[in-house]
């Protein structure tokens, strides 16, 4: 993979298999892919899940070989390739040739990325020095090359997207919360409106109506089921502190979550996240099992899970420090 260009069709097929596994699809089942693969491949701090796009990762690895040809000119690797493919010019000026080998064709496909990220440093009395502009050290890394490709993809598809930078603090804060991973994933899906609410299922023509099955009062969007529904409101009424004083109406869930993270302490955010997840779980039990949980049970389930998680992590920290 770091020496040969993999067929893009093959990379797309593997990416498709990973996406199917992620969304819970097995064998001949058809599950909804709530978000595009490109979104899942976005870094976690930019609101994605940090999956690797194999085609772009392959390009970053090939660019690494080009960096070696550019900087390690005393190596046997460089001397063999120079003698065969560019004996009378530099690697940056080398052409594909009339009968290129597959490995040479693969290397040149990664050179374009290298050219977009290198810069030259000139010092009096010294030879020009090539630096990789994407890293502080000036040295090429596959990680920074992949990040450059991801940035280029975003710019091509949506233009320069300042929202990613504006929300980086939110995702860094979210992924560092002291809560189970499944709760972080739940918050991520809720923020991106990828929970299977009735409104989302109706929009995809899977449900016949978008209304909440618990209260039948309004469309079941994310902010309704987690905050405005009577079941949710009765649960939040049991939570002491500022949560009780928040208004019953809420904006779209991303704005609501943003406000919570900006104004609540880390401990309060963790409790809010667990109770939100418990409300969603209670909603699912009611719809799919016909089991109704009281607000006291919902809050108790959330607090027990949070307590057990903190105790387990405290025990693991104490064991590792011994």
Q: Encode pLDDT of 93-132 as tens digits.
A: 999 988 889 999 999 999 999 999 999 999 888 888 999 9
Q: Residue 283: how many CA atoms within 13 Å on its side-chain side?
A: 28
pLDDT (mean) for 291-296: 95
Check whether 319 has a pLDDT greater than 60. Answer: yes
Is 236 in contact with 243 (CB distance < 8 Å)?
yes
Q: Residue 77: how many CA atoms within 13 Å on its side-chain side?
A: 14
Q: How many residues does the chain have?
A: 322
Segments making up each domain of the chain, as ranges: 8-158, 168-321
Check whether 159 has a pLDDT greater than 70. Answer: no
pLDDT (mean) for 67-83: 94
How do the residues of the chain divide into helix, strand and coil, expressed in percent and rounded to 5?
A: 60, 5, 35
Cα–Cα dist 42/51, whole Å? 7
Question: How high is the pLDDT of residue 241?
Answer: 84
Angle of CA points 272, 250, 175, to nearest 5°: 35
- How is residue 276 written in tokens? 């939100």
| Predicted model pTM | 0.85
pLDDT digits (tens, 9 = 90+) for 208-264: 999 999 998 899 999 999 999 999 999 999 998 888 778 877 678 999 999 999 999
Check whether 170 has a pLDDT greater than 90. Answer: yes
Residue whose C-alpha is closest to residue 100's, from 121, 115, 81:
81
Which of 132-136, 156-160, 176-180, 203-207 has the lowest average pLDDT?
156-160
Is 179 in contact with 309 (CB distance < 8 Å)?
yes
Question: How high is the pLDDT of residue 103?
Answer: 95
What is the chain's mean pLDDT, rounded?
91
pLDDT (mean) for 43-61: 93
């Amino acid at each position: 993979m770091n020496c040969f260009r993999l067929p893009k069709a093959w990379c797309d097929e593997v990416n498709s298999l990973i996406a199917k596994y992620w969304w819970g699809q097995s064998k001949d089942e058809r599950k909804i892919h709530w978000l595009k693969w490109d979104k899942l491949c976005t870094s976690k701090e930019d609101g994605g899940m940090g999956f690797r796009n194999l085609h772009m990762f392959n390009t970053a690895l090939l660019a690494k070989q080009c960096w070696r040809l550019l900087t390690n000119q005393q190596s046997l690797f460089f001397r063999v390739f120079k003698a065969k493919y560019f004996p009378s010019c530099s690697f940056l000026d080398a052409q594909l040739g009339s009968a290129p080998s597959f490995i040479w064709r693969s290397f040149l496909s990664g050179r374009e990325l290298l050219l977009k990220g290198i810069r030259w440093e000139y010092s009096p009395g010294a030879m020009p020095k090539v630096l990789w502009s994407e890293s502080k050290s000036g040295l090429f890394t596959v990680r920074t090359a992949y990040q450059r490709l991801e940035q280029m993809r975003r710019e091509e598809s949506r233009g320069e997207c300042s929202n990613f930078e504006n929300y980086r603090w939110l995702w860094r804060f979210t992924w560092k919360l002291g809560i189970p991973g499944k709760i972080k994933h739940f918050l991520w899906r809720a923020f991106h409106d990828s929970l299977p609410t009735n409104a989302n299922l109706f929009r995809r023509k899977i449900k016949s109506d978008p209304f909440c099955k618990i209260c039948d009062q309004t469309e079941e969007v994310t902010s309704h089921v987690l905050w405005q529904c009577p079941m949710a409101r009765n649960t939040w009424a049991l939570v002491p502190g500022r949560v009780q004083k928040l208004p019953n109406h809420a904006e779209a869930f991303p704005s609501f979550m943003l406000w919570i993270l900006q104004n609540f302490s880390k401990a309060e955010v963790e409790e809010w996240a667990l109770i939100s997840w418990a409300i969603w779980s209670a909603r699912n039990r009611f719809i799919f099992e016909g089991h109704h949980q009281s607000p006291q049970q919902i809050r108790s389930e959330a607090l027990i899970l949070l307590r057990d998680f903190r105790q387990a992590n405290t025990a693991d920290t104490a064991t590792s420090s011994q």
